Amino acid sequence: MTDSFHASGTDHGHDDIDFKTMMGDVQPLRRSQNSADAGHRPAAPTESQIARRRHALSGNDGADGLSDDFVDLVPPYDPLEFRRDGIQIGVMERLRQGGYPVQASLHLLRRPLYECRASLPQFIRDAYAADLRSVLIVHGRSREIDGAANVLRSCLAKWLPTLEEVHAFVSAQEGDGGLGATWVMLRKSERARSANRERQQKRRG
């Protein structure tokens, strides 16, 4: 996978690139949906702002249906977290604590948003095809809600649940990148399930 790398030692704290001119139409989540105060809601986007954002996301033929509609901005100090039905809280906590190996990682720092949108589904598909279960996405973080890295982080929160291979994701602890990185757990492939059944049968036999 050409987009993968080992993330240890990467600086995730100062990756705030100014996308404000291209991303003027993103909006913060309502306060009732978040634990952090995102501040005042910006004014409704102008037609020119919407056009700039469309341009920023254009030229991408590999996004596999990931939405380029408006995205609600996650407050910059709120961790990301998502799990599908059946994923136990203990599994989520282990994922959060870095209890699973980094089997592959995707580096999205300082990359245009449309490139991130194109790279994400291919990376997830490749990891799933290789029977990987735990991967790390390094995207950086911003102090401001409309900083580039936080816009990307908010987009990931919207995009990842739409990929059927994704079972869960959660922001990392400081040692693995903190809010600038997100752990993703992938579902088992049918091949991996079959291998697991065979191992169980051998143990019983």
Average pLDDT over residues 12-37: 42
Strand partners, 28: 73
Contacts of 204 (CB under 8 A, 6+ apart): none
Instruction: Kindly report, residue by residue over 116-129, the tens digit of the pLDDT.
Output: 999 999 999 999 99
Q: How many domains does the chain have?
A: 1
Threshold 0.75, pTM exceeds: no
The enclosing H or E element of 169 equals strand 166-171
Report yes or no on 108 lying in a domain. yes
Residue 63 or 1, more confident: 63
Q: Could you tell me if residue 92 is inside a domain?
A: yes
For the domain that residue 35 is a member of, what is the CATH number? 3.30.1370.110
Which amino acid would we find at residue 68? D
Which one is predicted more confidently, 181 or 25? Answer: 181
Q: Is residue 11 part of a domain?
A: no
Q: Give the per-residue pLDDT at 178.
A: 97
Which pLDDT does position 200 carry in this prediction? Answer: 66
Check pLDDT > 90 for residue 134: yes
Residue 126 confidence (pLDDT): 96
Instruction: State yes or no: pLDDT of 101 exceeds 90.
Output: yes
Whether 81 maps to a domain, the answer reads: yes
How far apart, in whole angstroms, are the C-alpha atoms of residue 155 and residue 57?
A: 12
45 has a pLDDT exceeding 60: no
Asked, for residue 6, whether it belongs to a domain, the answer is no
Domain coverage including residue 101: 27-204
**36: in domain:** yes
Question: Higher confidence at residue 202 or residue 132?
Answer: 132
Please tell me the predicted confidence (pLDDT) of residue 66: 84
**Sole residue written with tokens 């290789």:** 130
H or E segment and range at residue 158 = helix 148-159
Lowest-pLDDT range of 59-68, 124-133, 149-158, 174-183: 59-68
